[in-house]
């Protein structure tokens, strides 16, 4: 929903969208599945805001079920390389790759009743018969992805890899307080804007 907002001024009636108004305040929303399209749009907006006012904070509000690892890592890497600090705010659930995007924030805040979900990556869409070497290759790629995502969680939360591997063996939902205690979140959000 991107409703048109009308504003009367001395020049007449101006129209703009909520998205453009929030963008002017350096606030972005990521409220969809992590995939090539959604991450390319996010990267485009992040680069624009970083170029527009380098060094000024960008707020990224996240409510995502997760999705593609490669696309998510591209957005994560971009966020970590910007000249502008990024503040991430969980506004619902940041799950799976959504939690990795959340972890890219310099400040990582959660609304009081939100959740973060971390887990080991999975292979989606296994179908048909596979040869032993094909399965072995997929398993090796999955373990490599596991090491990458666990490394990000460990680095950003300042936990050991062993602690992260133990926590991510199954889907692990963390409340705001649990996420702060584990080091995934840096605090509870007092405001969004």
Catalytic residues, which ones? 96, 119
Find all residues with CB under 8 Å of 34, minimum gap 6, and list them: 64, 66, 67, 68, 71, 72, 75, 96, 97, 98, 101
Radius of gyration of the CA atoms of the chain, in A: 19
Of 127, 95, 111, 129, whose CA–CA distance to 189 is shortest?
111
């Amino acid at each position: 929903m991107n409703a048109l907002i009308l504003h009367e001024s001395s020049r007449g009636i101006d129209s703009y969208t909520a998205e453009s108004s929030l963008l002017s305040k350096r606030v972005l929303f990521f409220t969809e599945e992590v995939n090539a399209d959604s991450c390319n749009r996010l990267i485009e907006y992040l680069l624009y805001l970083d170029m527009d006012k380098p060094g000024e904070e960008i707020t990224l509000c996240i409510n995502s079920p997760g999705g593609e690892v490669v696309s998510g890592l591209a957005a994560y890497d971009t966020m970590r390389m910007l000249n502008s600090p990024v503040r991430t705010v969980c506004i619902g659930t940041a799950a799976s790759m959504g939690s990795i995007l959340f972890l890219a924030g310099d400040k990582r805040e959660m609304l009081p009743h939100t959740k973060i979900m971390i887990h080991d990556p999975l292979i989606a869409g296994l179908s048909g018969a596979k040869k032993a070497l094909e399965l072995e290759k997929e398993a090796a790629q999955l373990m490599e992805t596991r090491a990458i995502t666990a490394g990000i969680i460990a680095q950003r939360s300042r936990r050991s890899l062993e602690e992260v591997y133990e926590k991510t063996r199954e889907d692990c939902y963390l409340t705001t307080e649990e996420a702060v205690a584990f080091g995934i979140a840096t605090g509870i959000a007092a405001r969004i804007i």
